[in-house]
Amino acid sequence: MTVTSKGERRLRLAMTRKGDYYYIDQVIAGDTASFAPLVERYQDMVYSVIIKIVHKSHLAEEISQDVFIKAFQSLQGFQKKAQFSTWLYRIAFNAAVSHARKAKIEISSIDDKVMNNFPQTDVQDNVMGLNEKEQKVLIEKALSTLNELDRVLVELFYLKEKSIEDITQITNLSNSNVKVKLHRIRKKLYIEMEKMMKHELAGI
Amino acid sequence: MKNTHPYNDPFLKGMIQKAEEPKAPKGFTFNVMRAIEQAPIPARPGFTGKQLLSVILLGAAASITTVFMIIMPELLHITPAEGSQTLATVLPAISKLFSSFSSILNNFNISDLFGISATVIILLVAMDTLLRSTAKERRKHRNTLMML
């Protein structure tokens, strides 16, 4: 199959009309080209999770490609009980973690020290006083202080709006562990934003 | 802003959605599809341990049945007997076969139990090897077809 720009446009148009399962059935029936809309639909999502763990763009691209090849080859084993995106996230997360282990990259999360008092209301009030661009810079800087696993959790929960149950399936963490981590991430982001607003606001 | 859970924060969600997300490089889909077309589909795993055992046992049962029902009567020139005469003809033949087998073993000073066990093991190993080589050939053939 040759994927031309015209072909890609057609695929994009088709994607808006067909659900994941339609393409999955087509691929299982032997139509390899039907996998392209699924790649198109989920490439950013997969790449985004992987780069948060492996950090290097060329590695993230390579692993993302492997993830899609693996997904294609294992598609017959995909049970439609779960969402395709959750299944794919799980493959992507495992691939990234496995690479990180081989490369001896430590996948850490916020340590267990309790952050009881966090300046939620103050930060929210101050952030409301910033313009859109300043808010964007502030949150990007705060997110960059998070560890690998926490960034993935933020992406899954806040950006992709995955349920706690889906996140437990993807990451293999327990339900309560995911909740505790999300709670700590939330506190940490407020603390980081407060620190930045105190010391760096003038520079934004 | 009110939170539904201590881990959920709508304010943060709004903020996080403003952050720029990394995107897959251009031409990613094309590269993946090209790689998929070039990569041979991996051979499905062969028999699992349980399946292999079942196949071997079934094979052994089929072989024994074949030996007793077809090959033995042929060798011993037993004509197919009708009705109740069948058993009367086949059973003595079977018993004759076992006694010949036993006498062969005795000539070599081997106990019956050991002889039977050894024969069964040899038959099973032979059948296993045969099955494995057939499966391997089939897998090779399929991979070659995929490459083409």
Calculate the average pLDDT of chain A: 83
User: Looking at this protein, which amino acid is placed at residue B110?
Assistant: I
CB-CB: which of A32, A64, A180 is closest to B36?
A32
Tens of pLDDT, residues A152-168: 999 999 988 999 999 99
For residue B2, what pLDDT is reported?
A: 46
- ∠ at Cα A98 (A96, A103), nearest 5°? 90
Return residue ranges of chain A for CATH 1.10.10.10. Answer: 120-203
Give contacts of A132 with chain B, Cβ < 8 Å.
18
- What confidence score (pLDDT) does residue A1 get? 44
Asked if B1 lies within 8 A of A179 by C-beta distance, the reply is no
In 3D space, the residue among A75, A57, A196, A182 whose CA is nearest the CA of residue A134 turns out to be: A196
Tens-digit pLDDT profile for residues A36-89: 999 999 999 999 999 989 888 999 999 999 999 999 988 888 887 788 999 999
Cα distance between residue A57 and residue A54, in whole Å: 8
How many whole angstroms separate alpha carbon A46 and alpha carbon A155?
11
DSSP string, B49-112: HHHHHHHHHHHHHHHHHHIIIIIHHHHTTPPPPPTTHHHHHHHHHHHHHHHHHHHHHHHTT--H
CATH architecture of A5-102: Orthogonal Bundle (1.10)
Using the beta-carbon criterion (under 8 Å), do B16 and A154 form an inter-chain contact?
yes
pLDDT confidence of residue A110: 60
**Sign of the CA dihedral B96, B99, B105, B107?**
negative
Q: Does A50 touch chain B (CB under 8 A)?
A: no
A48 in B contact zone (CB under 8 Å): yes
Which chain B residue is nearest to residue A38, measuring alpha carbons? B29
> Would the ipTM clear 0.85, i.e. be above it?
no
Shortest CA distance from A31: residue in chain B = B37
Count how many Cα atoms sit within 13 Å of the Cα of residue A195 in the half-sphere of its side chain.
10
Residue with the bigger pLDDT between B92 and B45: it is B92
> CATH 1.10.1740.10 region(s) of chain A?
5-102
Confidence (pTM) = 0.59
Rg (CA), chain B: 32
Taking CA–CA distances from A143, the nearest residue in chain B reads: B16
Q: Residue A144: closest CA among chain B residues belongs to which residue?
A: B19
Q: Residues of A with CB below 8 A from B10's CB?
A: none
Q: What are B96-120's pLDDT values in tens digits?
A: 877 887 788 778 777 777 777 888 8
Domain A120-203 has CATH 3.20.20.70: no
Check residue A70 and give its pLDDT. 92
Mean pLDDT of A89-103: 89
* Residues counted in chain A: 204
Q: Which residues of chain A have a CB within 8 Å of the CB of B17?
A: 158-159
